[in-house]
């Protein structure tokens, strides 16, 4: 597996690069949205709309692909997120500059001395790929609207990481560190703060 710099949602500390990342322009990004396995079409539409509205990014649809058998972790009955990223890297095609994979299955990675730590999402910091699961979004949601808000917000968060945005100290910013709980996502505004918007070349909202 290639060495990569990663940031995890759900409050897992990222492996930071030794130099400061230069954030990239959000409006120049072309994000391929790819379903891994079966995925509800209305939620795909909502994710695409959220990325366009918040980041001014171009969103293109990639054909759905099956979840790769190489990512299956049988002892816990879920998929390894870093292996899903390996698959996603191979699916980027022009004009896309980065790819967002979405799945309904639970995902995990190794962190904090735990071999198989369940996560909401995983992404390349300043890279080209990220993956998000609905599983933890829906598990404690009071209704479908809250689950969808969590999913769309987290998708924007992870694509933000690929643009070079690190976790934000503003608890209302969608780039805030979730600190181990999906409930943190519920307390955000669902939008980037002014500082994060400036870092990716976006004007303040009207």
Query: Going by DSSP bridges, is the β-strand pair 121-124/58-61 parallel, antiparallel, or unpaired?
Result: unpaired
Q: Are residues 126 and 5 in contact, defined by beta-carbon separation less than 8 angstroms?
A: yes
* Residue of 38, 54, 82, 158 with catalytic role: 158
81 Cβ neighbours under 8 A, 6+ residues apart: 71, 107, 108, 109, 119, 121, 122, 131
Dist. CA 85–CA 159, nearest whole Å: 13
Which token pair is 77? 């009955």
Q: Are residues 155 and 120 in contact, defined by beta-carbon separation less than 8 angstroms?
A: no
Give the helix/strand (H/E) hosting 89.
helix 81-89
Q: Can 104 be counted among the known catalytic residues? A: no
CA 151 to mean position of chain CA atoms: 9
User: Could you tell me which of 161, 167, 34 has the C-alpha nearest to residue 99?
Assistant: 34
| Collapsed DSSP state (helix, strand, coil) of residue 72 | strand
Catalytic residues: 158
């Amino acid at each position: 597996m290639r060495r990569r710099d990663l940031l995890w949602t759900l409050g897992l500390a990222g492996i930071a690069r030794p130099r400061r990342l230069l954030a990239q322009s959000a409006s120049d990004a072309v994000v391929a949205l790819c379903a891994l396995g079966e995925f509800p079409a209305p939620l795909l539409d909502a994710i695409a709309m959220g990325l366009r509205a918040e980041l001014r990014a171009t969103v293109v649809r990639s054909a759905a692909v099956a979840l790769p058998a190489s990512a299956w972790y049988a002892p816990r009955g879920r998929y390894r997120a870093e292996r899903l990223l390996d698959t996603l890297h191979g699916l980027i095609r022009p004009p896309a500059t980065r790819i967002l994979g979405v799945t309904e299955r639970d995902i995990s990675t190794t962190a904090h001395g735990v071999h198989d730590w369940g996560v909401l999402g995983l992404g390349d910091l300043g890279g080209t790929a990220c993956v998000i699961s609905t599983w933890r979004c829906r598990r404690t949601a009071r209704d479908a609207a809250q689950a969808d808000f969590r999913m769309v917000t987290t998708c924007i968060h992870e694509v933000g990481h690929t643009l070079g945005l690190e976790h934000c100290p503003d608890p209302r910013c969608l780039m805030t560190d979730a600190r181990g709980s999906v409930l943190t996502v519920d307390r955000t505004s669902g939008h980037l703060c002014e500082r994060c918007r400036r870092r990716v070349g976006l004007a303040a909202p009207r």
